[in-house]
Amino acid sequence: MTISMYQAAVPTITRSLANLAAILEKGAAHAEAKKIDPAVLVSSRLYPDMFPLAKQVQIAADISKGGVARLARVEPPAFEDKETTFAELIERLHKTIAFIETLKPPQIDGSEDRTVTWQTRTATKSMQGMPYLLNHVLPNVFFHVATAYDILRHNGVEIGKQDFLGKS
């Protein structure tokens, strides 16, 4: 059995982002229950040289929409990095999921061998579609979702592995 690029990308990424939105909802509920200023959690970091929670969520959304858009050869929507609340971060994830779900299998399937080019902060990079998805996009999405999870867990939010993985 083979798996299509669409099936490897869209359901996997949208599930991860939806799980992150649910984790953020638990973070907001935790802040309210414990009388913690939510801004403290949104700006929390695992280590001083790491990005805070808000930036982790923004990057997870950006790599998701940008990665899938590049495979589909469409322009992703641009989102300003201005979220400062749990509600705004959750909304960003929902907007990202909504965009990704507009893409159809014929737009992404067949991108395995297509050259994908993107700009980083310091360079222009290119990869073939399948390694781009499997070795760049998905690991980056998982890294930033896991880091956001870790920030909240480190701050006492009662979440576990099942929250990260979501319902089967």
Looking at per-residue pLDDT, the higher value among 131 and 2 belongs to: 131
Choose which CATH entry (1.20.120.450, 3.40.50.960, 3.30.300.130, 3.40.50.1100) describes domain 5-153. Answer: 1.20.120.450
Looking at per-residue pLDDT, the higher value among 1 and 130 belongs to: 130
Q: Where are the domains of the chain?
A: 5-153
Mean pLDDT of 85-93: 98
Specify the pLDDT at position 6: 98
d(CA 113, CA 13): 20
Specify the pLDDT at position 135: 98
Q: Are 156 and 32 in contact (CB under 8 A)?
A: no
167 pLDDT more than 90: no
Mean pLDDT of 37-57: 98
36 pLDDT more than 80: yes
1 pLDDT more than 70: no
Mean pLDDT over each residue of the chain, to the nearest integer: 97
Tokens 């913690």, located at residue: 36
Specify the pLDDT at position 2: 85
Which residues, 6 or more positions from 141, have their beta carbon under 8 angstroms from its beta carbon? 13, 16, 17, 60, 63, 64, 67
Give, as one character, the DSSP assignment of residue 12. Answer: H
Q: What residues form DSSP beta bridges with 117?
A: 126
95 pLDDT more than 70: yes
Mean pLDDT of 95-113: 97
168 pLDDT more than 80: no
